């Protein structure tokens, strides 16, 4: 461990400023001082990118039990039933609270407006500004957090490792990206809510910050990771050359968009009776199969049957983004292909966010509560971050009560001079992608992707083991992100090789069937140990 320049103290530390981190921090602020660290801007999280919405059984035609059934069905036999029950039962309370805190969901007249997405038996998806739900929730939570005096938020603070003493997590180290300095933060308890790891894949809908940092530093400290073979691939990301893989929300298909192959034929009925509204893993595999069959790099999403003005009004952000890349969703078919989207696995936790290491908690996409099983039901992720973020905060206060309140020995992000934005330190700004990282992302996409086999996974592990970190004197953010992604890529490939079946998002062409006798269990990964399975 490198000696830090400066040491600080807070009662509670939260790493990550998405829905899970902010909701936990707001909870924790009732009991003591809280410092939230974000490696980029405070609003730069997967939460802010979430378009489709947040699932909750609040409409007159819905029931909590139906939401529970749909979640368990999507999870393909691997959901933890008690975690799902908590999610759907506590969801309405926390959504109502969000509304009280100023979150403006779309309404039909005075009533909340709900839409339907794939594998939901009812219309239960709340949305905001059409397709900017996550951004609206993030705005409301940040506004709430900024109003609390002893809740401090610090941007451009990249957490590099956890501090473990006598088997207990007592703090962390982070780099201040504004000047490159190294800091140590001591706290009664630490929550990891750093989001996902989609950047491990060549094709991903995830923001640049999604490099799995929380999972990787927890793993490095000895915490258990679980279900790391279950990566969800979103079926429909915009496939325009030179454009980022912008996600075209499942809600488009919920509102009637259809899929066509390169020859403009509808094809989903060949793969599943639910057609375009089948579960994500089924639609993603169908698209890949169709791309192979027609020797093409994409299929098309067709929204052109909708009345004039509908697409612009219902999906303003998606419509405008597609237009900026030359695709008019109202009159053109959009080229789409699958892309890595969401990690069902993560740091193994109980129902209160506790990990296998005392003092360490995890919530949101970083955690594996077991709520998603082998395949996440659409729009359950924001709800999970909200519910389990709050529960983690409650557990941290109970397990590590504050006897003597500490003022945070570190202010929040310093305000930039008028007219100037805070700029990261020149050595830590995102560098051009190193060839070694390009190789990891390519190996993961080709060999640990939507369709897998022992031959491909074994080759992936060999190739990943041969990748050395780029030679550099700067051991800043880019170096740490590479290390994190490399470690997690190996865990994912090894977990996928160990699961000799197909289930949810994990599809083995050499084991095409689900095997409940041997694999209705969760994979467990621990540093320097073989992958094992536990019920």
Least confidently predicted of 342-351, 405-414, 416-425, 506-515:
416-425
**Residue 408 confidence class, pLDDT cut points 50, 70, 90:** low
User: Does residue 475 surpass a pLDDT of 90?
Assistant: no
- Among residues 510, 483, 501, the alpha carbon closest in space to that of 215 is found at 483
Higher pLDDT, 424 or 493: 493
**Residue 407 confidence class, pLDDT cut points 50, 70, 90:** low
Higher pLDDT, 246 or 508: 508
Beta strands 189-192 and 360-362: pairing type? Answer: parallel
User: Does residue 429 surpass a pLDDT of 50?
Assistant: no
**Residue 476 confidence class, pLDDT cut points 50, 70, 90:** confident
Assigned token pair, 139: 């705005």
Higher pLDDT, 154 or 424: 154
User: Does residue 73 surpass a pLDDT of 50?
Assistant: yes
Whole-angstrom distance, CA of residue 380 vs CA of residue 370:
12
**Residue 117 confidence class, pLDDT cut points 50, 70, 90:** confident
Residue 209 to residues 140, 182, 423, 464, Cα–Cα distance (Å): 21, 20, 16, 21
Q: Reading across the β-sheet that carries 6-9, which strands appear in turn?
A: 6-9, 181-186, 168-176, 157-165
- Produce one character per residue of 171-201: b if its CB has 16 or more CB atoms within 10 Å, e if not: bbbbbbbbebebbbbbbbbbbbbbbbbbbbb
What are the φ and ψ backbone dihedral angles of 150, each rounded to 5 degrees? -100, 20
- In DSSP terms, 347 is beta-bridged to 225, 367
CB 209 within 8 A of CB 39: yes
Least confidently predicted of 122-136, 327-341, 467-481:
467-481
**Residue 104 confidence class, pLDDT cut points 50, 70, 90:** very high
User: Does residue 416 surpass a pLDDT of 50?
Assistant: no
Residue 418 pLDDT? 35
Residue 4 pLDDT? 63
Residue 432 pLDDT? 58
Q: Per this entry, what is the length of the chain?
A: 535
Higher pLDDT, 249 or 227: 227
Residue in the block written with tokens 């109202």: 330
Residue 5 pLDDT? 73
Calculate Rg over the CA atoms of the chain: 22
Residue 77 to residues 281, 337, 349, 519, Cα–Cα distance (Å): 14, 27, 19, 10
Residue 295 to residues 287, 289, 290, Cα–Cα distance (Å): 12, 10, 8
Domains and CATH numbers, the chain: 234-339 (3.90.700.10)
Average pLDDT in the chain = 91
Whole-angstrom distance, CA of residue 6 vs CA of residue 157:
13
Work out the end-to-end distance of the chain between its first and last CA atoms, rounded to an integer number of angstroms.
36
- 61 burial (CB, 10 Å; 0-12 / 13-18 / 19+) is exposed
User: Does residue 426 surpass a pLDDT of 60?
Assistant: no
pTM (two decimals): 0.92
Whole-angstrom distance, CA of residue 438 vs CA of residue 514:
33
CB 234 within 8 A of CB 375: no
Whole-angstrom distance, CA of residue 486 vs CA of residue 468:
9
266 included as an active-site residue: no
Q: What is the average pLDDT across 202-224?
A: 95
Q: What is the average pLDDT across 170-185?
A: 94
CB-based contacts of 181, cutoff 8 Å, min separation 6:
5, 6, 175
Whole-angstrom distance, CA of residue 43 vs CA of residue 495:
32
Residue 376 pLDDT? 93
User: Does residue 453 surpass a pLDDT of 70?
Assistant: yes
Higher pLDDT, 335 or 115: 335
Q: What is the average pLDDT across 328-334?
A: 96
List helix spans (H) across 401-453.
435-447
Assigned token pair, 77: 């036999």
- The CA-CA-CA angle for residues 347, 441, 16, to 5°, reads 40
Instruction: Given the residues 135, 280, 314, 477, select the one marked as catalytic.
Output: 280
Residue 428 pLDDT? 40
CB-based contacts of 178, cutoff 8 Å, min separation 6:
156, 414, 422, 423, 424, 425
User: Does residue 47 surpass a pLDDT of 80?
Assistant: no
């Amino acid at each position: 461990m490198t000696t830090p320049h400066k040491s600080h103290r807070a009662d509670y530390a939260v790493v990550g400023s998405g829905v899970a981190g902010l909701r936990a921090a707001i909870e924790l602020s009732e009991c003591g001082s809280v410092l939230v660290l974000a490696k980029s801007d405070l609003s730069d999280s997967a939460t802010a990118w979430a378009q489709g919405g947040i699932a909750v059984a609040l409409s007159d035609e819905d029931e909590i039990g139906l939401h529970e059934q749909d979640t368990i069905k999507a999870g393909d036999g691997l959901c933890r039933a008690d975690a799902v029950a908590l999610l759907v039962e506590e969801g309405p309370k926390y959504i109502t609270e969000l509304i009280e805190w100023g979150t403006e969901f779309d309404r039909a007249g005075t009533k909340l407006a709900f839409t339907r997405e794939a594998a939901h038996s009812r219309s239960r998806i709340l949305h905001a500004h059409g397709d900017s739900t996550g951004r609206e929730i993030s705005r409301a939570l940040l506004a709430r957090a900024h109003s609390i005096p002893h809740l401090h938020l610090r941007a451009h603070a990249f957490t590099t490792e956890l501090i473990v003493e006598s088997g207990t997590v007592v703090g962390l180290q982070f780099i201040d990206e504004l000047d490159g300095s190294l800091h140590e933060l001591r706290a009664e308890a630490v929550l990891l809510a750093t989001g996902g790891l989609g950047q491990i894949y060549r094709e991903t809908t995830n923001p640049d910050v999604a490099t799995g940092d929380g999972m990787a530093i927890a793993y490095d400290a000895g915490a258990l990771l679980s279900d790391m073979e279950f990566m969800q691939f979103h079926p429909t990301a915009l496939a325009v050359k030179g454009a980022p893989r912008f996600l075209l929300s499942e809600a488009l298909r919920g509102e009637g968009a259809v899929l066509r192959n390169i020859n403009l034929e509808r094809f989903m009925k060949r793969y599943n009776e639910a057609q375009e509204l089948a579960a994500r893993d089924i639609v993603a595999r169908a698209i890949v199969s169709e791309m192979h069959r027609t020797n093409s790099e994409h299929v098309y999403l067709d929204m052109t049957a909708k009345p004039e003005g509908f697409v612009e009004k219902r999906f303003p952000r998606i419509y405008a983004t597609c237009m900026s890349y030359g695709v008019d969703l109202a009159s053109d078919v959009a080229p789409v292909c699958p892309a890595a989207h969401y990690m069902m696995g993560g740091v193994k936790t109980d129902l209160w966010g506790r990990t296998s290491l005392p003092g360490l908690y995890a919530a949101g996409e970083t955690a594996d509560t077991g709520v998603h099983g082998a395949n996440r039901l659409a729009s359950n992720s924001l709800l999970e971050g909200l519910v389990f973020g709050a529960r983690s905060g409650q557990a941290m206060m109970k397990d590590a009560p504050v006897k003597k309140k500490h003022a945070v020995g570190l202010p929040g992000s310093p305000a930039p001079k008028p007219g100037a934005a805070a700029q990261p330190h020149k050595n830590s700004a995102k560098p051009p992608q190193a060839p070694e990282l390009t190789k990891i992302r390519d190996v993961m996409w080709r060999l640990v992707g939507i369709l897998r086999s022992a031959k491909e996974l074994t080759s992936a592990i060999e190739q990943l083991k041969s990748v050395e970190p780029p030679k550099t004197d700067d051991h800043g953010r880019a170096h740490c992100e590479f290390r994190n992604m490399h470690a997690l890529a190996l865990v994912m490939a090894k977990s996928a090789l160990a699961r000799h079946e197909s289930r949810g998002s994990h599809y083995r062409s050499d084991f095409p069937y689900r095997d409940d006798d041997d694999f209705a269990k969760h994979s467990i990964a621990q540093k320097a140990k073989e992958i094992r399975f536990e019920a």
